[in-house]
């Protein structure tokens, strides 16, 4: 159950990231630029073998970021300044104020799936969501970007020219829902700008 402060404060942004082949290097480069004071909670789906009992990704990302990195747990409260990593073989969903994990059917042949994460975020957090699709094979994340955009959020994709596996960002771009196409090293700065802009808008009540 979410604690009282978390339950009453849900004004921060939600950043959802999907990656597959080549994703660990891309994720490490992206999170390096995110400050621990970021007014957002960050969620990562990286495609892994479903037979793996435990992902090493949280330990890897802790080497590159000052965000608090957590393996996702069912019912875990969502807090800004934290990064939550999907577990192997389990979909990661975002609920109002907390995380949900389940072993639902694979989506686009994968579990966890970025589409599941993105769609759940869009459903509950609408315009607070920033969706990011990184390098990978297949088209996971494309439907998720459509949902994020329809909910009033913003979508980003790694520039396919800089992605070792360009299928996932290319599929996201093909939907027409992607607002920013960037090399991975420029993504953290753009995320910070988007989060700060939304925070100022919420404070002043004016669009910026």
Which position among 47, 55, 115, 139 bears the catalytic label? 47
Asked if the peptide bond before residue 202 counts as cis, ω within 30 degrees of 0, the response is no
Which position among 91, 115, 140, 167 bears the catalytic label? 140
Q: What is the largest CA-CA distance in the chain?
A: 49
Which position among 13, 20, 55, 139 bears the catalytic label? 20
Of 152, 154, 14, 155, nearest to 79 (Cα)? 14
140 annotated active-site: yes
Terminal Cα-to-Cα distance of the chain (whole angstroms):
35
120 annotated active-site: no
Rounded distance, CA 198 to CA 80, Å?
A: 14
Rounded distance, CA 17 to CA 188, Å?
A: 12
102 annotated active-site: no
Residue recorded with tokens 């699709």:
133
Tell how many helices (H) and how many strands (E) occur in the chain. 7, 9
Which residues participate in catalysis according to the annotation? 20, 47, 140
């Amino acid at each position: 159950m979410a604690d009282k402060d978390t339950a009453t404060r849900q004004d921060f942004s939600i950043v959802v990231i999907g990656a597959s082949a080549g994703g660990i290097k891309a994720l490490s480069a992206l999170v390096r630029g995110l400050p621990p004071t970021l007014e957002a909670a960050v969620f990562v789906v990286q495609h892994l073998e479903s037979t793996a009992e435990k992902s090493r990704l949280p330990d890897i990302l802790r080497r590159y970021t000052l965000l608090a990195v957590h393996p996702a747990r069912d019912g875990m409260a969502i807090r800004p300044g934290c990064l939550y990593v999907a577990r192997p073989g389990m979909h990661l969903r975002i609920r109002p104020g907390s995380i949900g994990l389940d072993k639902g059917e694979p989506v686009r042949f994968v579990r966890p799936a970025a589409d599941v994460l993105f769609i759940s975020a869009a459903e509950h957090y609408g315009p607070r969501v920033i969706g990011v699709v990184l390098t990978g094979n297949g088209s996971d994340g494309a439907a998720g970007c459509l949902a994020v955009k329809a909910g009033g959020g913003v979508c980003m994709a790694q520039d396919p020219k800089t992605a070792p596996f360009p299928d996932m960002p290319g599929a996201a771009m093909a939907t027409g829902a992607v607002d920013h196409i960037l090399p991975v090293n420029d993504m953290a700065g753009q995320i910070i700008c988007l989060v700060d802009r939304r925070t100022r808008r919420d404070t002043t009540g004016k669009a910026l």
